Amino acid sequence: MPKYIHQHENWTNFTWKNSEVSASLGDVRLLQGRITGKIHLLGFRSKEERNLETLTQDVMRSSEVEGEKLDYEQIRSSVARRLGMDTAGLIPSARNVEGVVEMMLDATQNNQDQLTEERLFGWHAALFPTGYSGMNRISVAQYRKGEMKVVSGAIGKEKIHYEAVDANDIGHEMNKFLSWLNDDKVIIDIVLKAAIAHLWFLTIHPFEDGNGRIARAISDMMLARSENSSERFYSMSKQILAKRSEYYEVLKRAQRNDGEITEWLTWFLNTLKGAMQEAEDSMKNIMIKAAFWEGHREIRVSERQRLMLNKMFDESSIKLTTSKWAKITKCSADTALRDINDLIEKGILIKDDAGGRSANYRLV
């Protein structure tokens, strides 16, 4: 009796209960339309900043799903540079940060391009620029040569959760996967295709490491394609991180059956719906911020000042002081105080209480 999905004959002939999947798919498509409509009401600057924040979150959270914590400011700086944004406070980024940002931006910005083996290998090389995963040397930009097992537990008491496709079959299985993914004649909603591609790629598990991040990049590529837009306004990876234990359990069950993937598809779609609902809820704050900038469009502010004002909108609980301003914008305390006093004179900030440089400031 076959143990894993890929041990069944014709295992990629996936089946699902359309009656259970179609309702969630309809909700996702409705939310996509609503979010797109609201985004069109935003000015260029607000859309640009929302796109920057979403991409930053996507890169950071996708890595966190795998237990790797990357520096937020390094990710944000790398994304901003690659998008050509003139943003204050840019800092140098580590090679591994640059690599994962490069992969994510290629996936979303060039979402209409075919996914080829060469492109996949480029993503993998970007993820592991030193040829190491942690302390272990791995084969980079090539498919794995050995077996792949997902295990947990102490040595001698290991529990095997999953055994991936045999290394000798990877080339054939990946050719089949890429042919299906790139075939525009496949009659299936692209959002569903994103969900199936995620599961299919992880089931093959073609690389020694980085499979999870690449699978999520493939999903993001397909979701961007489904919206015909390179701009991202919600983060699927952020939502997956919040449900990480569920994510692995649903994947495990899908990889242990005979190709019936209703549970996986509904989980993926409902998680996507949650990401979109969170984005829609945050639009209210974005609209307020957009109205603020529209009302102050005649007032000149520096990039440093713009950065901090936006941060005050995004983090309403922030208590702004000159020292916090200086730390975030990487400037001196004197420069921070000049920036703040300038905004007070322009009627944008107000001083909460006395106390020199320890005073708090807030938006008028």
How is the chain split into domains, by residue range?
5-287, 298-363
Question: Taking Cα atoms as reference points, which of 184, 236, 232, 188 lies closest to residue 213?
Answer: 236
Each residue's pLDDT tens digit, 1-35? 558 999 999 999 999 999 999 999 999 999 999 99
Q: What is the mean pLDDT of the chain?
A: 91
Each residue's pLDDT tens digit, 253-291? 999 999 999 999 999 999 999 999 999 888 777 777 777
- Which CATH number does 298-363 carry? 1.10.10.10
Report d(CA 167, CA 145) in Å as an integer.
Answer: 5
Q: CB of 43 within 8 A of CB of 294?
A: yes
pLDDT at residue 317 is higher than 70: no
Report d(CA 47, CA 268) in Å as an integer.
Answer: 26
**Residue 295, Cβ neighbours under 10 Å: how many?**
9
User: What confidence tier does 172 reach under pLDDT thresholds 50, 70, 90?
Assistant: very high
Report d(CA 305, CA 302) in Å as an integer.
Answer: 5
**For residue 355, what pLDDT is reported?**
53
| CA distances (Å), origin 166, targets 2, 97, 120, 147 | 14, 31, 19, 6
Q: 5-287 and 298-363 share one CATH topology?
A: no
5-287 CATH, one of 1.10.150.530, 1.10.3290.10, 3.20.20.10, 3.40.50.970: 1.10.3290.10
User: What confidence tier does 356 reach under pLDDT thresholds 50, 70, 90?
Assistant: low
Rg (CA), the chain: 23
pLDDT at residue 310 is higher than 80: yes
pLDDT at residue 307 is higher than 80: yes
Share of the chain above pLDDT 90, in %: 68
User: What confidence tier does 354 reach under pLDDT thresholds 50, 70, 90?
Assistant: low
pTM, full prediction: 0.82
Phi and psi torsions of 363, nearest 5°: -70, 140
